[in-house]
Amino acid sequence: MATLMLELEHRSGILSSVLSQTAGLGGNVLMINQTIPLQGTANVFMTIDSSQLRVELFALTDSLKRIPGVKKAALVGQGSPTGEIV
């Protein structure tokens, strides 16, 4: 499992694009926490099951950064299904 932090512009469809890109690369979204947008930006924390991911996690974050409206994308935590922090 991995947790990503994203900063997204407050525009329709950006989070949907992030989810589609993640799923398209084999990531399974388990949880999403999103703040209320302030000054046009929302912070999103997304936890994914990365066991079927077809790219490295850093390649996933790089691909998410290229989506229009994604200001930041970073890996903030990675662990195993047993809860062990890696």
Asked if residue 25 is part of any domain, the answer here is yes
Q: Which residues of the chain have pLDDT under 50?
A: 86
Q: How many domains does the chain have?
A: 1
Asked if residue 47 is part of any domain, the answer here is yes
| pTM attached to this predicted model | 0.87
Per the structure, the complete domain to which residue 12 belongs is given by 2-68
CA-to-CA distance for 49 and 10, rounded, in angstroms? 26
Asked if residue 78 is part of any domain, the answer here is no
pLDDT at 2: 96
Asked if residue 9 is part of any domain, the answer here is yes
Instruction: Please state at what angle helix 57-65 crosses helix 14-24, rounded to 10 degrees.
Output: 150
SS3 at position 60: helix
pLDDT at 48: 97
Most distant pair of Cα atoms in the chain: their distance: 38
Asked if residue 83 is part of any domain, the answer here is no
Asked if residue 84 is part of any domain, the answer here is no
pLDDT at 79: 79
User: CATH number, domain at 41?
Assistant: 3.30.70.260
Asked if residue 31 is part of any domain, the answer here is yes
pLDDT at 84: 54
